[in-house]
Amino acid sequence: MGIRPGGELATRPLHFIWIADCSGSMETDGKIQALNTAIREAIPHMQKVTDENPNADVMVRAVKFSNGAQWHISQTTKVADFKWADLTAGGVTDMGKALRMVAEQLKVLPERGLPPVLVLISDGQPTDDFDGGLKEILDQPWGKKAVRIAIAIGEDADLDVLQKFINNPEIKPLRANTPEALVRYIKWVSTAVLKSASSPASQSKQVAAGINVPIPAPPPEEVLDSADDVW
């Protein structure tokens, strides 16, 4: 065969960003612990997906928001090396600031990459300029094309806001009212959605209408045994 023509080969980067609500209300009823557990438990499953899809170079980061927003894991981390450090809760819900931080990162993603996956998890209502933050994301080419998933924790989460973030009428916010449901949804987004985003398939322009990644059906909403189970 001989030396091939062309320069360096590379798999396609796929940026996966957790956007996590760490406001004071997440402290109640063990919600923040449940979120930490869910993400930590999802890591081996995420690793299995990336092993099965080696042409997607999945890199994970996390943003947290309460009073302001900060990078929880700022370094893009390959899934094989990804370790979850526990989030702690306290403060308000500056979701808009978190979205602005993500939008800044979307500006520098390479064109040859696969669509990024953004997962917003919240139990309440934003206390800052959410619309402005969302606009900054959707103004970015990669923002428009990102896979945007939202998980509502408990009954006080603002579903309208989460739906706005998703910006696709065919995809609804996932409603996690128990720790078990949260684990299921976090696992689904870390595996089924990630696998779909890792595919190189194209979509014709007219039918794409936003994101190009087909989103698989999420796990069904749970049937609750008793009111004690519910957040």
Partner 1 sequence: MGHQWQAIGKTVCGAAHKRAGLTNQDSITWYPILEPGPPLVMAISDGHGSAKSFRSHWGSAFAVETAREVIREVFKPPPTLISRTDLSNVKRLLEERLPGELVRNWAARVSAHFEHYPFTHAELEKMASGDSAGSLESLEENPLLAYGATLITILVTQDYIAYAQLGDGDILIVSDTGGVSRPLPDDERLFANETTSLCIKDAWSDFRTGFQVLTNSPPALMLVSTDGYSNSFLDETNFLKVGSDLLEMLRAEGLQKISASLYGWLDQASQEGSGDDITLGIICCMDALQGGAE
Residues that bind partner 1 (CB under 8 A): 1-2, 4-12, 52-56, 110-112, 114-115, 141-142, 145, 170, 199-208, 212-216
Strand partners, 149: 119
| Least distance in angstroms from the C-beta of 138 to partner 1 | 14
Residue 143 in contact with residue 108, Cβ under 8 Å? Answer: no
* Closer residue to partner 1 in complex, CB, 12/45: 12
Tokens representing residue 71 in the block? 């990078």
| Least distance in angstroms from the C-beta of 182 to partner 1 | 25
| Least distance in angstroms from the C-beta of 24 to partner 1 | 37
Cα end-to-end span (Å), the chain: 62
| Least distance in angstroms from the C-beta of 168 to partner 1 | 9
Residue 153 in contact with residue 231, Cβ under 8 Å? Answer: yes
Cα–Cα separations (whole angstroms), residue 53 to 5, 15, 31? 25, 14, 32
What is the C-alpha to C-alpha distance for residues 18 and 28, in angstroms, rounded to an integer?
21
What is the C-alpha to C-alpha distance for residues 58 and 15, in angstroms, rounded to an integer?
6
| Least distance in angstroms from the C-beta of 102 to partner 1 | 16
Tokens representing residue 74 in the block? 């700022």
* Closer residue to partner 1 in complex, CB, 1/227: 1
* Closer residue to partner 1 in complex, CB, 95/109: 109
| Least distance in angstroms from the C-beta of 132 to partner 1 | 24
* Closer residue to partner 1 in complex, CB, 75/204: 204
* Closer residue to partner 1 in complex, CB, 54/227: 54
* Closer residue to partner 1 in complex, CB, 30/141: 141
Tokens representing residue 129 in the block? 């300029």
Q: Output the CA torsion 126→132→65→167 (10° steps).
A: 80
Residue 80 in contact with residue 35, Cβ under 8 Å? Answer: no
| Widest CA span in the chain | 68
